[in-house]
Amino acid sequence: AQSVTQLDSQVPVFEEAPVELRCNYSSSVSVYLFWYVQYPNQGLQLLLKYLSGSTLVKGINGFEAEFNKSQTSFHLRKPSVHISDTAEYFCAVSWIQGAQKLVFGQGTRLTINP
Partner 1 sequence: DAGITQSPRHKVTETGTPVTLRCHQTENHRYMYWYRQDPGHGLRLIHYSYGVKDTDKGEVSDGYSVSRSKTEDFLLTLESATSSQTSVYFCAISDARRQGGNTIYFGEGSWLTVV
Which of positions 54-83 make contact with partner 1 (CB under 8 A)?
Answer: none
Contact 113, 10 (CB under 8 A): no
Contact with partner 1 (CB under 8 A) among 25, 94, 110, 112: 94
Distance CA 7, CA 23 (A): 6
Residue 95 within binding range of partner 1, rule CB under 8 A: yes
Residues sharing a CB contact under 8 Å with residue 24, sequence separation 6 or more, in sequence order? 4, 5, 7, 71, 72, 73, 74
Phi, psi of 106 (to 5 degrees): -80, -15
Contact with partner 1 (CB under 8 A) among 45, 80, 84, 113: 45
Binding part of the chain for partner 1, among 15-23, 38-46, 58-66, 75-83 by CB under 8 A, reads 38-46
**Which residues of this chain interact with partner 1, rule CB under 8 A?**
4, 6, 9, 32, 36, 41-46, 49, 51, 90, 92, 94-107
